[in-house]
Structure 1
Amino acid sequence: MVNNINQLLEKARAAHDAGDWSRVLQCLQKLIQEENALDPEIVKNQAYLLELALSILEMGDFQQRWEIAKVFVRLGNVAITPLIDILQDEDASELRWYAVRILGDLKNPKAIASLVEFLQTTDDEELKAIAAAALGQIGQSAIAALSELLTSVDTRILAVRSLSYIRQPEIITPLLNVVQDPLVEIRAIAIEALSSFHDSRIPPILLNALTDVAAAVRREAVLGLSVRTDLHQELDLLAKLQPRLYDFNLEVAQAAAIALSRIGSDEAAKHLFIVLISPPTPIKLQLEIIRALSWMKTLSGLEYLQQAFNQLSYTTLWLEIVTVLGRVSDSTLTASSTEILLSIVRSQHPAVEIASIKSAIALSLGQLGNIEAIEPLISLLADNNQVVRLHIVAALKNLAPETAYQQLQQLLNNPTLTPDLRKGVTAALAEW
């Protein structure tokens, strides 16, 4: 073992002198393997191993620097001081980026202190963000140091951002202290992070944030409450979230639609429907509500989609409705979804004359898998649009290819068949 380690050290030294950083890296990776950790030769040469690693960090290419970072972590605390020196060297350029990441991986109190100090002193916003992320990855041991940074206006946002990365219960108390901070970004980050925890102190904070003057904070509050449907009766979430459907900020209103869909009650569906068919509602919000009604997986949600199809007048919205109806996967609702689509086919609704709508209906019926749709689909083959016919053929094949094929062949023998449908059936058989 000793001879092997000495040989690797000699190879590493020769490669270093020749500037062969790839070979130096390979030697170091073998030398710092776990089985070598306590070997006297490794302990004796630890300073030299560190020197080699620093050389690669300074002279290597991107991939070599990325790989050597893992070696620094294995070297442990001996690497902290030279890495801090790099961190404090404003001329070290991109090396500081690697130093920050490695110090974060070391998770040592001295490394934490250096990163916290770096956050307080550097003007480089990119490096600040990386340092904040590194502290977040360190976890619980960094919480105390980061909590102290909350007291300073200059470091509060970075401290909040770092704490938000940690996602351990210990961050709740310090973050509760900044939910009323004057800075919008701090409030939004704190609300978002707190939403990850099931703690009795948090729901009142989220409810209060629903009326925050900043849209970003309101949105995070809505999203946070949307995952607490277990409390929807206790907190009367339907009444609290429904007004946000009318929020001046579109993203807040869209988040409210998603939140109500998760509550999943008939009353929630009703509120969504009212906003959906309201003329002033932006089309982006209407599309989100259409999806929300389908996500609810309730019969009332599907029925409201059917009503909306008959009351709305935009092709984009019609198309979205027939599309989401085809994505219904709940076995108790697929029959109802199929019937709604078939009722649209049988109706005199102007949407049925639009090729894209007709294609989407065919696709959705094929996805739902109900063979009752075979005859109605065949009747749509009278359409002269080749794309529509191709979608219908694909849907028929998806439903029951043998049955559909037989029905198409039988139709050709029907003397009362209209010319357009005969042409469509013939084309469909040719595509089979």
Structure 2
Amino acid sequence: MSSDRPVGPLAGIRVLDLTHVLNGPFCTMLLAHMGADVIKVEHGAGDRFRHSWMPVDAGRDGYESLVVNANKRCVTLNLKDPRGGELFERLVAESDVVVENFSVGVMDRLGYGYDRLKEINPEIVYARSSGYGNDGPYADVPAFAVTIMAISGWTDSAWKTSGHPGSKPLGMGDEAAGISMALGICAALVERERSGVGTSLDVSMQEAQMGFMVSSFHTFFEKQEVATHPAECADGFVSFHMPDLDDRRWTRFCNSMGHPEGVEDPQFLTLQDRRINFAQLMLRVREWVKERTRDELWETFRTEKIPGAPVLGLGEVIEDDHIRKRGTFLEVEHPEAGTVTMLRPWIRFDGRDTTIRYAGPGIGEHNHEVYGELFGLSAKDIDQLSADGVL
């Protein structure tokens, strides 16, 4: 195995990554960041997501593809070729997990549904994700994040929050399902340690998206809005949380804002009073906020331990002092894209170097490494298989 592969609690786990676009690759990216040996399997032109949202004449992979395929190895393989099928079965026998997010039924038509995979390797964990799950009336309907956000209620909830119907919602239709599938895979691996056999799991993007909408469902069922909108200040916006400020912090906040009269206002004397008169409270606080700059308010929030923060642009986030000192972003060199700024793996394990060793690999970049390492194939053998269309 490459010496530059990351370490982590999933070290020693091999994952066959048959995924494409963003939902599945986001899942396997998390597994790779946690130390799994993720082998991305492609054929022909490869994952079409490599060039999504890029100029039509772009000669390299786009940022999203470089990010979600970081820390993975990539091989090519033609599953429709008999020799390709043999190699795939050997890969399955040497692996712990197979992940795919094809349309429902594709793997079965290729002859590699879960029943066949567990014949090859009874310990295999088979994870699949699709727009609407493996059964139900919509199971065979194609889906993308934008359609899933629409039919899950996410888009409408975002419009109600913003007050701008028809606008593009900032969503996580792919990411929510990817996170859910990665968590399911980890749970299945734990179960396998106990039982000695693998299992299959199915993640619906629609249901996963709704799983991340607890606050929206609270608003729907309780008829009570959750959280508050950011407030305008002298030079931008800040966001803060007022409903649960105890009396001590409320007093300190009023004094630090230069409005000690807020402490004695009968509408706001106690936490219960402030909750009952929350609308009036927010009107008052919003007026105070307009008098200060973001930096002044951020200093107040930090000093008085008030749960609040400035609304930052992405460029400001990257340059933020805390983010820099945490090493949250990394500069990763890529042969085609040059220096790429990427988010460091955010699940950190004590004493382990959670980092990005390399951005998303090229199509078939690790053919010689993987097939030579696992099956002892020579460079000449691998080149011939490529020439024959097997790889």
Which category describes the TM-score, using the shorter chain as reference length?
Answer: under 0.3
Name the one with the larger helix percent. 1
TM-score w.r.t. the length of structure 2 is 0.25
